[in-house]
Amino acid sequence: MGINQIIEESTVAQIKELFDLDVDRSKIVTQKTNPSFKGDITVVVFPIVKLVKKAPQEIGDQLGQALVNSLTEISAYNVEKGFLNLIVADDYWLNSFYDIRKSDEFGFVSVEGADTVMIEFSSPNTNKPLHLGHVRNNLIGHSVAEIVKASGKKVIKVNLVNDRGIHICKSMLAWQRWGNDETPDSTGKKGDKLVGDYYVRFDKEYKVEIQQLVDGGMDKKQAEKEAPLMLEIQEMLRKWEDGDDATRSLWSMMNGWVYDGFKSTYSRMGVSFDKVYYESETYLLGKEIVEKGLKDSVLVQKDDGSVWSDLSADKLDDKLLLRSDGTSVYMTQDLGTAVQRFQDFSLYSMVYVVGNEQDYHFKVLFMILGKLGYNWAENMVHLSYGMVDLPSGKMKSREGTVVDADDLMEEMVETAKATSEELGKLDSFSDQEATELYEIIGLSALKYFILKVDPQKKMLFDPKESIDFNGNTGPFIQYTHARICSILDKANIAEKNQQEVLIDSDKLHQKERQLIITLSNYPGIIQEAASTFSPALIANYVYELAKDYNQFYQAVSILKEADQTLVEFRVSLSSSVSQVIKSSMRLLGIDVPRRM
* Residue (of 393, 90, 423, 126) closest to 257 by Cα position: 126
Answer whether residue 549 is part of any domain: yes
Q: Do 84 and 45 meet the contact criterion of CB atoms below 8 Å apart? A: yes
Q: What is the mean pLDDT of residues 217-240?
A: 95
Q: What is the mean pLDDT of residues 539-561?
A: 96
Answer whether residue 115 is part of any domain: no
Answer whether residue 565 is part of any domain: yes
**Count of C-beta atoms within a 10 Å radius of residue 527:** 17
Q: In total, how many domains does the chain have? A: 3
Q: Is the pLDDT of residue 426 over 80?
A: no
Cα angle, residue 312 at apex, residues 309 and 313 outer, rounded to 5° = 105
Q: What b/e sequence results for 4-16 when a residue is b if at least 16 CB atoms lie within 10 Å of its CB, and e otherwise? A: eebbbebbbebbe
Q: Do 120 and 533 meet the contact criterion of CB atoms below 8 Å apart? A: no
pLDDT of residue 461: 80
Answer whether residue 116 is part of any domain: no
| Residues 396, 223: Cα–Cα separation, whole Å | 22
* Residue (of 320, 335, 244, 214) closest to 286 by Cα position: 335
pLDDT of residue 493: 64
Region at 217 (left for phi over 0; alpha for psi -120 to 50; beta for the rest): left
The parent domain of residue 9 ranges over 3-88
Answer whether residue 596 is part of any domain: no
pLDDT of residue 395: 42
Q: Is the pLDDT of residue 393 over 60?
A: no
Confidence of residue 505 (pLDDT cuts 50, 70, 90): confident
Q: What is the mean pLDDT of residues 343-368?
A: 95
| Residues 130, 402: Cα–Cα separation, whole Å | 9
Answer whether residue 592 is part of any domain: no
Answer whether residue 325 is part of any domain: yes
Same structural domain, 292 and 418: no
Same structural domain, 232 and 150: yes
Same structural domain, 384 and 452: no
| Residues 475, 83: Cα–Cα separation, whole Å | 38
Lowest-confidence pick of 32-36, 267-271, 532-536:
32-36
| Residues 109, 527: Cα–Cα separation, whole Å | 9
Phi, psi at residue 401, to the nearest 5°? -105, 15
pLDDT of residue 398: 44
Same structural domain, 531 and 465: yes
- Three-state DSSP class for residue 16: helix
pLDDT of residue 494: 53
**What share of the chain has pLDDT > 70, as a percent?**
96
Quick one: how far is CA 338 from the chain centroid?
21
For the stretch 179-206, pLDDT in tens is: 999 999 999 999 999 999 999 999 999 9
Same structural domain, 222 and 323: yes
Question: Residue 63 sits in a domain of what CATH number?
Answer: 3.30.1360.70
Q: What is the mean pLDDT of residues 360-367?
A: 97
Answer whether residue 327 is part of any domain: yes
| Residues 90, 511: Cα–Cα separation, whole Å | 12
- 397 or 405, which is more confident? 405
Give the highest mean pLDDT range of 47-51, 191-195, 390-394: 191-195
Decide which of 88, 112, 142 is a domain's last residue: 88
Question: Residue 127 sits in a domain of what CATH number?
Answer: 3.40.50.620
pLDDT of residue 82: 86
Same structural domain, 382 and 429: no
Decide which of 67, 88, 109 is a domain's last residue: 88
Confidence of residue 392 (pLDDT cuts 50, 70, 90): low
Same structural domain, 336 and 461: no
- Three-state DSSP class for residue 216: coil
Q: Is the pLDDT of residue 396 over 60?
A: no
Same structural domain, 160 and 250: yes
Q: How far is CA 207 from CA 174, 201, 202, 325, in A?
A: 13, 10, 9, 31
For the stretch 63-79, pLDDT in tens is: 999 999 999 999 999 99
pLDDT of residue 496: 46
Same structural domain, 62 and 131: no
Strand-pairing partners, residue 85, are 42, 78
Confidence of residue 592 (pLDDT cuts 50, 70, 90): very high
pLDDT of residue 401: 55
For the stretch 283-335, pLDDT in tens is: 889 999 999 999 999 999 999 999 999 999 999 999 999 999 888 899 999 99
Same structural domain, 436 and 520: yes
For the stretch 506-546, pLDDT in tens is: 899 999 999 999 999 999 999 999 999 999 999 999 999 99
Q: Is the pLDDT of residue 100 over 70?
A: yes
Same structural domain, 442 and 381: no
Mean pLDDT for all residues in the chain? 92
* Residue (of 129, 122, 123) closest to 395 by Cα position: 129
pLDDT of residue 27: 85
Question: Residue 568 sits in a domain of what CATH number?
Answer: 1.10.730.10
pLDDT of residue 71: 96
Same structural domain, 165 and 257: yes
pLDDT of residue 56: 92
